[in-house]
């Protein structure tokens, strides 16, 4: 069985002929060689979800969500996205002859928008959507009503709206458990609406319930300070996430001011022994640069949020240097051209007029 359908027995029942895959999942779990030493950790691992077919972990969601549409004979897919969910659904819909409509967050990166368009999706953007709570709530209400009338639910990468698709994301936990002992393990994950974190917790709980020897890792929530809906309430031992009037972070993909799976994330992370960490956008950009220049991991800013959280946790003395740590790298750097320019600013390639000048440069820099 290809893709995440390797875990067919743990996924929603879909007849084999309706199961869609582009080879998602089975992503590398690599051990850090340089950054672990530089920040003071003995065992630091990166789960490279940026190498999925469309460049993010959302392919796991799309594989199951679109398979559900195929199973039901549904020919239209309606979705909302800040970028990665839309790109994933657009690709899997293209492979399934399903028409795809994506309502995207205002200001989503051009790279992600163009990716959706290349797959043939209808891309819709409304001013304030995904940033302003009132606009987002009203548009979502009308969008859901329209989709319901047309016989197809709105696909949103959150358990609150699309539990079937989110079951595909739980396969990240299954893969980690196949390679590492979960005892004393710390998992750091970014959060916008919280669906990814809740999927991880549910996946690890599923494994532990089947075999108590596996144990349960501590699952930590990391959010940019401009979208702190879950991390601080979790750290403060509150039971409920806190909605914002507006998301002010510039980190694409994590601009989710409303509450989706936040309450469930707080409960699940608390039970695992995890907590919340808040990081600045600048800290995220620094983590992105370090991952690229020191580990060869090319990710978008949202993909570096977990690592920024690890740095903060070490600074605060909340994890020990002996603790094994896994960071989720959630999306590819190719998805956000502006962040590529930011990382490359102040540097330039070398252009030479003659062959001799080329080799003089090499000799002087060896």
> Binning pLDDT at 50, 70 and 90, where does residue 247 land?
confident
pLDDT in tens, 43-99: 999 999 999 999 999 999 999 999 999 999 999 999 999 899 999 999 999 999 999
Task: Tell me the average pLDDT across 196-219.
Answer: 87
> Binning pLDDT at 50, 70 and 90, where does residue 129 land?
confident
Task: Tell me the pTM.
Answer: 0.93
Task: Tell me the average pLDDT across 242-261.
Answer: 89
Q: Where are the domains of the chain?
A: 3-56+166-344, 58-164
CATH C-level class of 58-164: alpha beta
Over the range 69-79, which residues count as b (16 or more CB within 10 Å of their CB) and which as e?
Answer: bbbeeeeebbb
Question: Can you tell me the distance from the alpha carbon of 328 to that of 192, in angstroms, rounded to the nearest whole number?
Answer: 14
- The H or E element containing residue 122 is strand 122-125
| Residue 306 structure tokens | 């977990």
> Binning pLDDT at 50, 70 and 90, where does residue 212 land?
low
Give the closest residue to 290 by CA, choosing from 329, 250, 254: 329
The answer to whether residue 273 scores a pLDDT higher than 90 is yes
| Residue 287 structure tokens | 């983590």
> Binning pLDDT at 50, 70 and 90, where does residue 259 land?
confident
Return the CATH number of the domain spanning residue range 3-56+166-344.
Answer: 3.40.50.1100
CA distances from 299 to 17, 195, 214, 331 (A): 34, 20, 30, 6
Please give the mean pLDDT across all residues of the chain: 93
Give the closest residue to 31 by CA, choosing from 46, 49, 10: 46
Q: What is the 3-state secondary structure (H, E, C) of 347-359?
A: CCCCCCCCHHHHH
Least confident of 124-133, 226-235, 278-287, 341-350: 341-350
| Residue 314 structure tokens | 């070490």
The answer to whether residue 136 scores a pLDDT higher than 90 is no
Per DSSP, the residues of 125-193 read: E-TTTTTBHHHHHHHHHHHHHHHHHTT-PEE-SSTTT-HHHHHHHTHHHHHHHHHS--TT-EEEEE-SS
Domains 3-56+166-344 and 58-164 share a fold: yes
| Proportion of the chain above pLDDT 90, given as a percent | 77
């Amino acid at each position: 069985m290809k893709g995440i359908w390797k875990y067919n027995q743990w996924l929603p029942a879909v007849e084999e002929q309706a199961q869609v895959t582009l080879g998602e999942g089975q992503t590398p779990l690599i051990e850090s060689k340089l950054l672990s030493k530089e920040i003071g950790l003995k065992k630091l691992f990166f789960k490279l979800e940026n190498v999925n077919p469309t460049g993010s972990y959302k392919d796991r969601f799309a594989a199951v969500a679109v398979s559900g549409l195929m199973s039901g004979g549904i020919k239209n897919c309606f979705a909302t996205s800040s970028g990665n969910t839309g790109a994933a659904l657009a690709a899997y819909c293209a492979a399934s002859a399903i028409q795809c409509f994506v309502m995207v967050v205002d200001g989503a990166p051009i790279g992600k928008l163009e990716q959706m368009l290349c797959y043939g999706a209808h891309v819709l953007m409304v001013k304030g959507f995904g940033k302003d709570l009132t606009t987002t709530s009203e548009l979502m209400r009308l969008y859901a009503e329209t989709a319901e009338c047309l016989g197809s639910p709105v696909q949103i990468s959150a358990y609150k709206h699309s539990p079937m698709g989110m079951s595909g994301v739980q396969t990240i936990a299954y893969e980690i458990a196949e390679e590492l002992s979960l005892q004393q393990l710390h998992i750091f994950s970014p959060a916008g609406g919280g669906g990814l974190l809740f999927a991880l917790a549910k996946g690890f709980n599923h494994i532990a319930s089947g075999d108590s020897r596996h144990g349960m890792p501590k699952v930590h929530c990391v959010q940019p300070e401009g979208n702190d809906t879950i991390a601080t309430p979790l750290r403060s031992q509150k039971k409920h996430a806190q909605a914002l009037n507006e998301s002010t972070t510039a980190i694409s993909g994590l601009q989710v001011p409303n509450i989706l799976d936040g309450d469930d994330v707080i409960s699940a992370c608390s039970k695992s022994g995890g907590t919340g960490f808040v990081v600045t956008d600048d800290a995220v950009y620094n983590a992105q640069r370090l991952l690229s220049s020191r580990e060869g991991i090319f990710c978008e800013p949202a993909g570096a949020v977990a690592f920024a959280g690890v740095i903060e946790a070490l600074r605060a003395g909340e994890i020990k240097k002996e603790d094994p740590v896994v960071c989720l790298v959630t999306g590819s750097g190719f998805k956000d051209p502006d962040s590529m320019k930011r990382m490359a600013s102040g540097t330039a390639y070398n252009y030479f007029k003659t062959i001799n000048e080329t080799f003089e440069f090499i000799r002087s820099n060896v």
